[in-house]
Structure 1
Amino acid sequence: MSETASVSRQLLSAPLPQIIERLGIAIAQAQSALDRNSIETAKAMAEAEVELGGETHNLISLGFTPTFYSFTEATVEAKLSFSMTETTEFGIEVGASVEGNVGFVVVAASVNVSYARKFSVSAEGMSSIAARLVSLPPPETLETLLRKISEPAPAPAPAPPAP
């Protein structure tokens, strides 16, 4: 089997399933981190107090909400181009000479044999990973709960008059 065929098979057996699996896991971990960040932001907004008109309000009660983000797509792109050449050269040179003088003859022969096997490999590669992120409103249940928690407690009812 030629070396060219062996190298070609190795280049074409790139671990594409592992690359896709790792991308999926990385996106899931990134999404989890984004969600945790949004929840921490909601907590900070609920605890941050602002005084307006002599009353204290937290940011949630003023209508602020944390931003949530979601990955909508991810793309892995890999391009590989390679060229390989294998050449074999075989050459034979044969030469003969005859010289003569009175009474004798000289015959000479020469044989030159050459063999060369040459390999040339050229490879280029490029890859990129792109992900698209969009902002989403907070989940409705979380938004309702945050507003409920941030509402001021009702003032206690006045005590009934004594008889």
Structure 2
Amino acid sequence: MAVASKVTRQLLSAPLPEIVERLGSSVAQAQWALDRNSVALASEMAQTEVEVGDKSYNLLTLGFVPAFYSFTEATVEAKLSFTITESKEISLNVGVQAGVGVGVFMAAASVDVGYARKYSVSAEGMSSIAARLVSLPPPDMLSQVLKRAYEQDIE
């Protein structure tokens, strides 16, 4: 049963802390990318001018703001199932023949013995990663700066 115990040891030594660490790092990197994207959109909106009457306004002073997103949860799920079976088969066939002839007695015996021991190990795995994003209002400081810029443009 050495094969079964080896597989069991490998399954129990799965790097769960490493998986959780990688998930956390991945979420942090993805959040950083989302934030950089929102800042890049804000910069583009500030440079995009719209003519209203005889005045020109950028999109931010007209009240447009980029979307901001945040991860609210991330889940990693791993399922592993394994089956270990061991079977033994023993077979025994015994045969006896006897014969009597004129003054002669003859006997024969046959023995057929079989032994088989079989191991079977199977493993199946499945994993999934899910993340949930929500849209957030722009940061308060950005809203205040935009409001001041808008008020200066109106004056």
Quote the residue 1:152 is aligned against: 153
- 1:8 and 2:8 equivalent? yes
Of stretches 83-92 and 117-126 in structure 1, the one that deviates more from structure 2 is 117-126
Of stretches 62-71 and 10-19 in structure 1, the one that deviates more from structure 2 is 10-19
- Aligned residue for 2:23, secondary structure, equals helix
* Greater C-alpha Rg: 1
Count of residue pairs the alignment pairs up? 154
Q: What is the percentage of aligned positions where both structures have the same residue?
A: 60
State the TM-score, normalized to the length of structure 2.
0.88
Quote the residue 2:38 is aligned against: 38
RMSD of aligned residue pairs (Cα, Å): 2.0
Quote the residue 2:112 is aligned against: 112
**Structure having the larger proportion of residues in helix:** 2
Q: Quick check: 1:4–1:86 contact (8 Å CA) kept in 2?
A: no
Quote the residue 1:21 is aligned against: 21
Quote the residue 1:125 is aligned against: 125
- 1:78 and 2:63 equivalent? no
Quote the residue 1:100 is aligned against: 100
- Counterpart CA distance in 2 for 1:4 and 1:99 is 52
Of stretches 97-106 and 3-12 in structure 1, the one that deviates more from structure 2 is 3-12
Instruction: Render the CA deviation track for 1:23-69: whole Å, top value 9, x for unaligned.
Output: 11111110000000000001011111000011100011111111111
Quote the residue 1:58 is aligned against: 58
Q: Quick check: 1:47–1:58 contact (8 Å CA) kept in 2?
A: yes
